[in-house]
Structure 1
Amino acid sequence: MTTPKYRRVVLKISGEALAGAGGYGIDPTVIRDIAQQITDVQKLDVQVAVVVGAGNIWRGLSGSQMGMDRATADYMGMLATVMNALALQDALEKLGVATRVQSSIEMSQVAEPYIRRRAIRHLEKGRVVIFAGGTGNPFFSTDTTAALRAAEIEAEVILMAKNGVDGVYTADPQKDPTATKYSEVDFMQVLNEGLGVMDSTAASLCMDNDIPLLVFSLNEEGNIRKAVIGEKIGTMVGSGATGRDESK
């Protein structure tokens, strides 16, 4: 069996990734594929916690831009993450994986409340824990949730699985054909240059708690496993990285 590089990880999955080609809602084929990839990683005796976004259903910021109260719009987004978490839980359990959904917003009929010590115990028992409901507070993204939960459960790395992006670039590769991909980059460079890896609150939290971040594409089969065993994919973001890009 391949020896994993990490033993406890937080996997951040964007809501948009769950929508597939349709661009909205939950694509059953996509979520089954993600569940299978998580199952493959868990078989390596790796403790996996997952944070899901909600961009496939609702974005709080978009609601705010349409004139909705920002806090109300954000709470709607948090509820949407619970829907995604339940869908992922169902897909995982169909593959025989013990799973728990923990929500920062209490809704005891469908999910456990988020309790740090209970989450860690679930992980130690080999269960996949899915964190839903964001941080439980408006004005914070699910990227910040991933950084916060990683710090709380003492995860070794955040695996940021992106939809349609295979790493961190010097500029937006869809707008700038000369953009090149970094193999590794420092958190301060991410913040100073606004590289768009994650929002500044999340990046600062990772930097302050020395939590490395691996950004890679979710669209390529088996990438989650490759990330866990330490294969060279995507871009590693961390304190003290050299900021090299792959063209050099």
Structure 2
Amino acid sequence: MRALSTFIALSLLSGSLANAEDAKASSTEKLKDSIREWIETTREIQKQEDDWDQDSQVLQGHRDGLLTEIEDLKEQIEKAKSSKGAADKKSLEAVEKYDALKSANDLLASRLSDFEKAMVERLPILPPALTKEPRVAQMISDLKAAAAKPEQAEQGGNARLNNVLNLMAAAEQFQGSVHLDSESRKVADGRELKINMVYFGLAAAYGVDDAGEVAFVGKPGPDGWAFEEKNELAADVRALVDVMNGDADAKFISLPISLP
């Protein structure tokens, strides 16, 4: 899917080349600008991918360690409980070990709460096309409910940790692809229109109505994704959607992008 992302991103440069015969000098400058925009876009997308890869690897490592320790704790706790009533020295040592393991289990629960809090803080960068998927929406709902009750992290800890990791995996998969979605958006004159929205991972989105008259540009922010009406881009975004739908041959299309 990463190859597809690069291919579509390259397609954004077509507008500059298409006008080369009319004004060679101007077209050359537009091509240079488009190439710079494509390079910046590629770098931003790669940065997003690297961030998610790194976080996923860290959490995966923690998950493996936690699951092993939890299973060991459960086994040791059950053994300690069964021998707690014995009066000999071995029984007393088991009780002490049980108390120590219980403290360790509480610490693991606290760390899980930190993971959930960190993930909740990252939710605004997830695009609407991803968060509205039923499976992802359910994971987000479960995550928020769990993060609201950190004192209960030891209850169902395995399921809670898996939920965080599965949500990260879904975001990482979306980040590595170009996604075409249909959304309803209100335009400047108050109408509700169906918008064909193309998401470039977690970095940017471009949308246009079926008539090719109304266009939107979307980008993530600290409070969620913001979409700005940019009707002057309607023709170019319509051409991009046609390529995505297979209604037109692949070609270079130049579109602006705002990087943080």
Does the pair score TM above 0.5? no
TM-score (normalised: structure 1): 0.24
**Higher relative helix content:** 2
